[in-house]
Amino acid sequence: MSRALKPTTDLANRIAKVYPTLSEGHRKAADFVLQNPLDTATMTIEGLAERSGTSTATITRFVRALGYASYGDFRTALSAALKVALAPVEALADARAAAGSVFATMSASLGNEAANLEEAIATLDEPTVDRAIAALLKARRIFIIGYGASHHVGAFLEDGLLLYLEADVIFATARGGPERASNQMLSAGPDDLVVAISLPRYSRSTLELAKFAKQRKAMLLAITDKPSSPLVAIADMTLFAPARNNFLPNSPTAAFAVADALITTLARERPDAVEALKALSESQLWLFHY
């Protein structure tokens, strides 16, 4: 059974954007491509026309409606989308085929996480860190956005920021979809900071929300894995958290560490941090078992 094309790919988004305006024949082609991307990637234009119950002329007009100059360009884009989507599957298959014990796999995985952390430290830039901490301390409100594994990093960051900042901290993507998140960010402005967290495979929703924040003139702090991440080009500041994993699409370990380091640094920099933590500890005295 063919895998359906993921809705987060560029090609799937192009189809979704024009789908309401497509003719019946074009919709037949679109439906076939979305449900059978692996088959489509290997088909000639004649093959796609036959399998989708259309004609070569219809397929030509369909790919042009998507913004591609030719069927060849369309197939190249589809192959690129599949490469991104299936890379973790192929990596896992290769890893499973390699000789090694359960213990060796566990040890290698931890070694990869250590390498990600070391690289995160190596890529730290002092002026960027200073700007990020200053922006967090100065912001009137802080919006956090992140989906997938990044969602959990965002939740962790939210808890820490609430402890040590007086600003309102709003986890915009805590529940609901991008529409609800953008509604929460409608009042964002120059005095606010948005922390966008995105790891491969990068969330289109996070990127669009980050762009929305920039349109609202809010400052943008990105936590992402490398300079080629789409967040980097629009962020005012970027903290890098390498996310390589030999078995899975990404690893959030370094992103958690970067979030933890931000919280720790803020705790030190807040003038009344000791008093604030003391008050919190006293209020929660009977909540813990020692």
What is the rounded (10 degree) CA torsion for 232, 236, 237, 241?
-30
Among 197, 198, 188, which residue's Cα sits nearest to residue 219? 188
Mean predicted confidence (pLDDT) in 72-79 = 89
Structural domains of the chain, with CATH:
10-87 (1.10.10.10), 114-286 (3.40.50.10490)
Residue 272: phi and psi, rounded to 5, are -105, 30
Q: Residue 80 has what pLDDT?
A: 80
- Strand-pair category, 141-145 with 192-198: parallel
Q: Which of 72-81, 159-168, 243-252, 268-277 has the lowest mean pLDDT?
A: 268-277
Q: For every residue of the chain, which 3-state class applies, written as one string? A: CCCCCCCCCHHHHHHHHHHHHCCHHHHHHHHHHHHCHHHHHCCCHHHHHHHHCCCHHHHHHHHHHCCCCCHHHHHHHHHHHHHHHHHHHHHHHHHHHCCCCHHHHHHHHHHHHHHHHHHHHHCCCHHHHHHHHHHHHHCCEEEEECCCHHHHHHHHHHHHHHHHCCCEEEECCCCCCHHHHHHHCCCCCCCEEEEEEECCCCCHHHHHHHHHHHHCCCEEEEEECCCCCCCCCCCCEEEECCCCCCCCCCCCHHHHHHHHHHHHHHHHHCCCHHHHHHHHHHHCHHHCCC
The predicted-structure confidence for 113-162, as pLDDT tens digits, reads as follows: 999 999 999 999 999 999 999 999 999 999 999 999 999 999 999 999 99
Mean predicted confidence (pLDDT) in 156-178 = 92
- Strand-pair category, 219-224 with 192-198: parallel
The percent of residues in the chain predicted with pLDDT above 70, rounded, is 84
Answer with the residue of higher pLDDT: 107 or 10: 107
The predicted-structure confidence for 91-118, as pLDDT tens digits, reads as follows: 556 666 665 678 888 888 899 899 999 9
Q: Residue 34 has what pLDDT?
A: 86
The predicted-structure confidence for 258-269, as pLDDT tens digits, reads as follows: 999 999 999 888
Query: Has residue 1 got a pLDDT over 50?
Result: no
- Summary mean pLDDT of the chain: 87
Q: Residue 94 has what pLDDT?
A: 62
Residue 132: phi and psi, rounded to 5, are -65, -45
The predicted-structure confidence for 79-93, as pLDDT tens digits, reads as follows: 887 776 666 555 556
d(CA 173, CA 30): 30
Q: Is the CB of residue 116 less than 8 Å from the CB of residue 165?
A: no
Query: Has residue 277 got a pLDDT over 70?
Result: no
d(CA 160, CA 268): 13
Predicted structure pTM score: 0.70
